[in-house]
Amino acid sequence: MKIFTVTLTGADESVDPKDLLYISDKFPWVEWGILLSSKKSGSPRYPAANWVSELSMICKDRDRQAEGVIRPKFAAHLCGDTMRSFMRGITFEHYDSGAWIMPHGLDLSGFNRLFGRAQANFNASREGFTDDHLQCMLEGWYETMDGALISQHNPANSEVWKPLQRIDQSYGSIRSHHILHDASGGRGLSPQSWERPIAGALNGYAGGIGPDNVIDTLHALEPIVGQGYIWIDMEGKLRSRDDAFDLEAAEKMLKDIEQVAIQQGWL
């Protein structure tokens, strides 16, 4: 098993964006999941547009001044109305030139520059997304966006990966569809057992992972994953009692992961 990245989700205005870059320099394999929701913007876990814009400008200035330095990893997690605007506005029939991201302080080029991946947090059953809609969405992504698109795999999305894989495979050597196994659908609950990876895609795992069990989780995943690459994603267990992102706990956990991962050959 190899670790592609470790995603820490939920950095918000309780965090100085510069601190994220500082930690990324120490652990270049970490990815910061930034939750975007137009209705919840400015509340805990969901940074306001000015914070996202500041993060983008800091990264842009860093790129200009520090040539050759490994770029920090960020993933946009599209939630609620932002997700719905994206799912509609990315398709050719309703293409909106990136209007879905503008409430978050970025234009399309800024989004592509900042985020290496995006995760559309939808419940396909509840939203009524058909195979055709999902395929049109991914086709629109290929034509207009950079990086990879992540879909969640859980009981409500049990069939979502199939139409997306068909489109992904039709683009030849490009593989831009990633699959996150999260049985609780973002509620932070651990599954009774971890599912095997879906062949032909990069697979990630989430659900109740945090500083208290991350090493045990990685050991449990190793025989299931075999020789493949995976990532893990965590959110709820990185919060303080007042629901602020606990950067100190996150950094300590990354040190623990690195120590064990080097010993096991995961990194």
Q: In 3-state terms, what secondary structure has residue 136? A: helix
CA separation for the pair 21, 16 (Å, rounded): 9
* Proportion of the chain above pLDDT 70, given as a percent: 96
User: For the segment 10-21, what is each residue's pLDDT rounded down to a tens digit?
Assistant: 999 999 999 999
* Stated length of the chain: 267
* Proportion of the chain above pLDDT 90, given as a percent: 84
Domain 2-264, CATH: 3.20.20.70
Considering only CA atoms, give the Rg of the chain: 18
Closest CA to 101 of 92, 93, 87: 87
Query: What is the average per-residue pLDDT within 92-111?
Result: 94
Cα torsion through 251, 188, 130, 197, rounded to 10: 70
pLDDT beyond 90 at 174 = no
Residue 22, both tokens: 């500082």
What's the predicted TM-score (pTM) here? 0.95
Among 57-66, 131-140, 153-162, 235-244, the minimum mean pLDDT is found in: 57-66
